Chains A and B, each alone.
Chain A
Amino acid sequence: MLGQIPFGVADYFWEEALQRQELIAELLATFRRWGYGDVIPPAFEYATSLSAQASAGLQAEMYRFLDRDGKTLALRPEFTTPVARLVGTRLHDWPMPQRFCYAGSVFRYVDPQAGRQREFWQAGVELFGAASPDADAEVLALTAEAMAVAGLRDYRIVLGQIRYFSGLLAALDLTDAQSEALRWAIERKSEPALNDFLRDMPLGAGQRQAVEALPGLSGGDIQRVMDQAERHCLNGEMHRALVNLRAVVDAADGYDILNSVVLDLTEIRSLGYYTGISFEALAPESGFSIGSGGRYDDLVGHFGPAQPAVGVALGVDRLLLACQRQSGTPSTPQPTRPHALVLSAHNQAAMAQVQSWRAQGYRLQVEVNGRGLTDVLAYAARIGVGQVLAWETDRFLAYHPNADGLFVPSQGEISFDD
């Protein structure tokens, strides 16, 4: 056991850790530019809070343990619920809307898969106190910008409106088992399962057509999908879902992101959690979604006065993986190398020069083992650093490897650019 780490967690180090930190920093910087303020919820809290509206699946995946007073605690499996708790219980009287952004690791007891260990990283935003399509469109547009910021060239946002399907369920007046059968058929896009459902159900002609049309209600031709869906509205809720969806699409068009948006009214995975639009971000190189979000107007009310809310959570690990695959550079473990190693004998002028280079953003490592030039050059060659600076009376002399890989002194200006 000593020296091992448990299944499902990872040590990140060198360039891989640096890339991860830089991506998170860039995502947070982007969120802040859109007016989102930072929030850092605790890594664990009462399990009852975290499961306020969690699906059975997510509840089963939570790491739970007992506090010393016997209360059940859980590691956060996501950020939305803790942030909703904060807003519902402590910030309910602060003027709405309120915008929050976060990044950090979450914990789920799942079988590790591509870009998702048991501890994995999320970055995202939550926008509270705005029920408007404009708020939905802002979160969609911010998701698109986050993809671009991460360096992903090719991605799609698959957008659905859960109320279209929940309206259909209501209109069909199904038993729980029948609803479940229909939900399963739609979620797995299974024609045979849908046919089984239709065969066993006594439905009116309009109802039957609405169910039959459902699998076709997806695609990049947004107008066509919405027009087709419109023809099969069976009640006010389905109609209102489409009115809302049109308004969100119109608002999103203002951000010029519709080229990356695909509509899918059969996108119903989080039935019972989302209350309006829901979406997933996909990239061709990754078989898994790299982010998901939507409107959840019922969550904050568990903790305080109800507030409409919409948000998105991006999977940092999957985003990194998708970017890597898109750029075609497989990740090989690379140490983070300084621009130069520095040899100096306790000299103020030398250290001042080093400090000024560091202030310009260059990474410089000062020799601390008291080694001489020969040993430091050998060390530099071994770890792959291409420049050694040795202090000679009043200035630094630079050593670079020649064609044979031997370090030789070089003349001229010292430069850190490759």
Chain B
Amino acid sequence: MTNPAALAQENETSRANRPPLLFALPKGRMADESLAFLERTGLTGPLDTNSRKLVLPNEDGSIGFVMAKPWDVPTYVEYGAADVGICGLDVLRESGRKVHEPLLLPFEYCRLSVAGPANRPDTPLRYASQPRIATKYPRLAQEFFRQRGVNAEVIGLSGSVELGPVLNLADLIVDIVETGSTLRANGLVEIRTILEVQAVLIVNRAAYQLKSREIQGIIERVRAVI
């Protein structure tokens, strides 16, 4: 499958034969757990994610799966490019996308937390007049501090956020914490949890009504295994 023309042809065909339902899955870290979970629901067998096809159909062709960047899943679903999707609650809340979110899924457990240097004086966050916050979650970070009356200077980064305090780019960070080992390794401690995170099933608002039979079928299969 290295012939670009053949591949283009194949993708052209898949656009014409759009499966009745498109399901967006997150690439990367969450991919394995999402795929394993879907297999348990029986919605699909193993998917060949190494295939260069853009849309991977399940066995009976009733659902097409699209592997998307995790941060893009809520966007795909809000716009209806995909009908259903799986993403983390952190990504969904940060995106602010208007989608239905019928079920939480039993994986990708972690939390979005404020963390700071271990030697930071033990004072409430609201005492700082204008803390600098490094984060991949500017919206949620801003919201968290605004609710406490603090006008934080939020510095958006796309990764390695824990470097912020180390390099004196920021006073605090807002980031995902699983075990806390990354924080400890960088001399940081967790100060406050902003959001308990797990994976979530999301559905496009129009598809929820227009494809309600198919969508309710998926919700039931998922509910049965959580």
Instruction: Give the interface of A toward B (CB within 8 A).
Output: 113-114, 156, 158, 188-192, 218-220, 262, 264, 282-289
Contact = CB atoms under 8 A, between A and B. Distances in A.
A156 B209 contact: yes
Contacts of A156: 209-210
A55 to B, nearest CB: 14
Contacts of A282: 206, 209-210
Interface stretch (B29-37, B101-109, B131-139): B101-109
Most B C-beta atoms less than 10 A away, residue of A191, A284, A286, A287: A287
Contacts of A188: 99-101
Contacts of B208: 189
Interface string B80-100: 110000000000000000011
Interface string B190-218: 00000000000001111111111000000
Contacts of B223: 191
Given A287-B80, A287-B204, A288-B80, A191 B102 contact: yes
A192 B209 contact: no
B81 to A, nearest CB: 7
A190 B212 contact: no
B103 A287 contact: no
Interface of B: 77-81, 99-104, 203-212, 223
Contacts of A219: 212
Given A218-B209, A287-B207, A189 B100 contact: yes
23 contacts: A113-B78, A188-B99, A189-B101, A189-B102, A189-B203, A190-B100, A191-B102, A191-B103, A192-B104, A219-B212, A220-B212, A262-B212, A282-B209, A282-B210, A283-B206, A284-B206, A284-B207, A286-B80, A287-B79, A287-B204, A287-B205, A287-B207, A289-B205
Give the most central of A158, A191, A285: most B CB within 10 Å: A191
B81 A287 contact: yes
Nearest to B216: A219
Contacts of A288: 79-80, 205-206
B78 A190 contact: no
B79 A262 contact: no
B104 A264 contact: no
Contacts of B99: 188
A405 B33 CA distance: 59
Contacts of B101: 188-190
